[in-house]
């Protein structure tokens, strides 16, 4: 299987996108970034997604504050929770880091540098990418990882047999730790599975009612 395989590879949850495709759009990435949990995204797409969520959360927070103030003016003795942005995150599907369990922020994204395969033979075979260290062709059936210290993509075989032996990034000589090795995920999209609805009418009721 080559690096341009179709999206109909079966996984645990059905079709699995190609390894170089965005976890949000399933389209090939032109400017790929990855989370520490191993989910690949097109930079502009995921930044827009994060930005739009923050705007919506801010809007809900302002609306809640307005309504809360009105209720307190009517009855100052009512106990109401102090609103925070976290109260509203469950209204959406935030991108959650699978390692830390925290919401992914723009500054958490790591730039990814796929090594392209050149030459007419590669073009004819529709082979796009290779391991940055061994030169092995990357495909949907090849486990791989991003090296945080360089952004380069290598096979997990390279990680196990070479990189973990010395814990040095072979592409630039930087010392590495285990957390600098980020296995790429093939399924899912990095979203939180939480789907709780925060109902303002219930939140603004006095406690005990």
DSSP-derived 3-state class of residue 133: coil
The CB density around residue 181, as the number of other CB atoms within 10 Å, is 21
Give yes or no for residue 204 having a pLDDT over 90. no
- Which residues, in sequence order, are CB contacts of 156 under 8 Å at separation 6+? 143, 144, 145, 183
Q: Alpha helices of 75-174 — where are they, by DSSP H?
A: 120-124, 156-158, 164-166
pLDDT band at 157 (very low <50, low <70, confident <90, very high): very high
- Phi-psi category of 181—alpha, beta or left, where left has phi over 0 and alpha has psi -120 to 50? beta
- The pLDDT value given to residue 76: 82
- Which residues, in sequence order, are CB contacts of 28 under 8 Å at separation 6+? 18, 20, 21, 22
Dist. CA 5–CA 137, nearest whole Å? 12
134 DSSP assignment: T
Provide mean pLDDT across the span 107-136. Answer: 82
- The pLDDT value given to residue 31: 96
Q: Alpha helices of the chain — where are they, by DSSP H?
A: 43-74, 120-124, 156-158, 164-166, 200-203
How would you classify the pairing of strands 129-130 and 115-116?
A: antiparallel
- Which residues, in sequence order, are CB contacts of 107 under 8 Å at separation 6+? none
Give yes or no for residue 57 having a pLDDT over 90. no
**Using one digit for the tens of pLDDT, what is the confidence trace for 127-149?**
689 999 999 999 999 999 999 99
Give yes or no for residue 39 having a pLDDT over 60. yes
Provide mean pLDDT across the span 156-173. Answer: 97
């Amino acid at each position: 299987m080559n690096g341009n395989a179709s999206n109909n590879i079966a996984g645990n949850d059905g079709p699995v996108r190609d390894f170089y495709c965005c976890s949000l759009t399933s389209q090939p990435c032109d400017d790929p970034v990855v989370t520490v949990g191993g989910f690949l995204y097109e930079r502009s797409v995921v930044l827009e997604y994060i930005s739009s969520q923050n705007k919506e959360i801010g809007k809900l927070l302002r609306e809640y504050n307005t309504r809360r103030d009105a209720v307190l003016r009517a009855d100052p003795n009512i106990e109401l929770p102090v609103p925070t942005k976290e109260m509203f995150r469950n209204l959406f599907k935030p991108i959650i880091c699978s390692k830390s369990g925290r919401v992914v922020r723009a500054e958490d994204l790591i730039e990814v540098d796929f090594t392209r395969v050149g030459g007419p033979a590669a073009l004819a075979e529709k082979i796009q990418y290779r391991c940055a260290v061994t030169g092995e062709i990357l495909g949907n059936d090849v486990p791989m990882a991003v090296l945080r210290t360089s952004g380069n993509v290598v096979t997990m075989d390279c990680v196990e047999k070479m990189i973990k032996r010395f814990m040095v990034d072979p592409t630039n000589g930087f010392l590495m730790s285990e957390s600098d090795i980020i296995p790429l995920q093939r399924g899912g999209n990095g979203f939180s599975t939480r789907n709780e609805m925060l109902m303002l009418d219930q939140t603004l009721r006095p406690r005990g009612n």
